[in-house]
Structure 1
Amino acid sequence: MTTRTTTRTIRVGTRASLLAQTQTQLVIDAFTGVNPGVPVETVLVSTAGDRSPAPLAQIGGTGVFVSALRDALLAGTIDVAVHSFKDLPTTAMPGIALAAVPRREDPRDALCARDGRTLLELPRGAKVGTGSPRRTAQLRALDLGLDIVAIRGNVDTRLARLDKDLDAVVLAVAGLQRLRRAHVVTELLDPIQVLPAAAQGALAIECRESDEDARSLLAPLDDHSTRAAVAAERSLLAALEAGCTAPVGALAEVTEGDDGLLEIFLRGSVTAIDGSDAVRLSASGPLNTAEEIGRRLAAELIDLGANTMMGSS
């Protein structure tokens, strides 16, 4: 356990949403557990994604929830930023370090439906809400006759629509678990049906690259297997030149190979927004080749027409 102490207060930046603050508090609790005596302060930061009710693709998609936090880091108004990893652009930002990637929560998507229904129990024409083009595309590809409705808002706002105009909503399991809302899940969606977004369920903890003190204090929070898995997924996303709003699914798992060494098994998919076509492949390799595995799988998906599907409407 780290016993390092400092008189400096570590200012942790977070978005103001309940989920963001809950995730940040989990990080702070873990941080103080390994750094007893180090003062911590939470700083709320407003982002473009929080201020605008427009669809993410209209307001910029990738980065709309993280740019303000990164600006605050570089300006020195906060020392640490906590993000949902799937919101981060795949390109690194000069001056900022990915200090830690804590152990990942369940990466799957969840169906929350009226009357406890599962996906196959929903009637044709049922209205299913989601703000994700990836989920929209994959649900349409299942050809269940569902009416996919675009929605925005926090978790509770989306769930409240079940009492109004929607039959079901699809949300990330991790967020529901962190908010203690797991009881509303009526079905955990198998990745064979709906492949999660790259880095879904994972958190990213950033600090200034030059802040050796913060980097040292945050290092114990890092989970090597989660970092490697997410690196493979995000490498695939980057190679496809796709942002967080693209209809791309990616899920990497760290497993033990036949030789007893750890390896990564990565699944990736690209689905046309209208659900008319999809490509899905997998690749595996040693743990220390995570990014290479992602790039290789992306190239194979492109060979099968992935780029055309990402541009479909």
Structure 2
Amino acid sequence: MFKNERLISQQQIQWKCLESKTENKRLQYGRFAISPFQRGQASTVGTAIRRALLQEVRGSSITRAKFHKVTIHDVLVNLKEIVLKSDSNDIQEGFLSVTGPKVVTAGDTLLPSCVKIIDNSQYVTTITQPISLHIELKIEKDRGYRIEKPEKYKDGQFVIDAVFMPVQNVNYSIHLFDNGRATQEISFMEIWTNGSLTPHEALSEASKKLIELLNPLLTIIEDGSSFKSKEDSIIIATESTSRQLQFNNTSKLEQTLFETFIDQLELPARAFNCLKRSEIHTIADLLNYSREDLSRIKNFGQKSVDQVSKALWERFGKELPNKKETIT
């Protein structure tokens, strides 16, 4: 290692908030600078933090709604969009009890003190007749995105495909600069959140999650206790077990695609946001579409279709058909 490189490696990486603003109650923006890095390090850190921001930062969402006397399916979509902030990791309950005629908003919901509604004006439904609407709500705190089977609950209860992702989008760029001794890298990171936490808070939580994920690896390296060396721990696969392993690997791949979010494609913001608005959240969701289907999405041009197809092939080895096959 050269002397200048040694000096760079000894410098402590620091971050600074360059810009912070609130667009509205459900959209906050922050821009940060992180440096100094040796060449190649900024990309490693930037990719890791971006994925942690989108997948590891926890959020709260309504996950179940129970209607009394009346069922309004359109309400479920609006309940899913309500932005919440919870200080508790436990399951909470909320209630929505109103009598019409009335425009019902998120602010009409009764919640425990540990749960806060970010925007009370979020629309839920409109009651045009003098009737009562009573809904029991289940609120949970988690990470990522949860898809549940609709037949899981009965007795007037409806599950909601909950989104626990307070970070809406992340971009980062890398630039070179000369400090007089050597060339270094600086990363600029942009973070958008839904208002339930600030970009600063999201960056801090994502960094902590990365440290928690990597800490166990230090223990493995130091004591080696997690590695088995006994002969009886080695499994020799026969022809029959090989077939079973191949089947299991296929099932695991399908499950992985079901649980993998489209943010891992690292698409441009325009294409990413169009897919999210069309309820395409996972790779499995995306594989249900053909190139022709994608081109029909509003504001989703041919360039975006090509970007999605290229990213899907490069990262997962999957191709989208030009058109859906019809069975006759």
What TM-score results when the alignment is normalised by the length of structure 1? 0.31
Answer 1 or 2: which has greater strand percent: 2
